[in-house]
Amino acid sequence: MKEREVAMSDANEFEDAITRALDRKPEVVVPADFAARVRASLPAQTKVRAQRSVGRIAAGVATVGLVVALCVLAPHARPSFGSMAFDLEMVLVVELMGVAAWLGMRRSDG
């Protein structure tokens, strides 16, 4: 019976030792020049220019063209739907709004 108590006592001491070892936080030491050494070991970064899509360039050109066409038509357009210049100006305004909406959309691919 005494041997069993000694064995239980040894088991409890062993569990306590394990618990103390697991509860102890390790001492973390980071050298002062660690960040500088890591940065020096990295390869130099090349500057990458963001590529523009052909669609965005075309939309920019279309926007400039639509604004110029609106400026040319404005003096000749009378605010009535019987006037061909006014009708064309309204079509150009709608097209300009469509291009502006398309340019304002966010890209979803990253």
Residue-wise pLDDT for 4-52, tens only, equals 666 677 778 888 889 988 888 888 888 899 999 999 999 888 888 877 7
Q: Of 89, 63, 95, 64, give the one whose Cα is nearest residue 76.
A: 89
User: 38 with 31: CB under 8 angstroms?
Assistant: no
Rounded to an integer, what distance in angstroms lies between the CA atom of residue 83 and that of residue 31? 79
49 domain residue, yes or no: no
Residue labelled with tokens 């090349």:
46
Amino acid (one-letter) located at 89: E
- Structural domain boundaries, residue 59: 54-104
Q: Are residues 59 and 98 in the same domain?
A: yes
**CA distance linking residue 93 with residue 78, whole number of Å:** 15
Tell me, yes or no, whether 58 and 98 share the same domain: yes
How many angstroms separate the CA atoms of 30 and 28, rounded?
7
Does one domain contain both 58 and 100?
Answer: yes
Domain count along the chain = 2
Q: Is residue 61 part of a domain?
A: yes
pTM for the model stands at 0.46
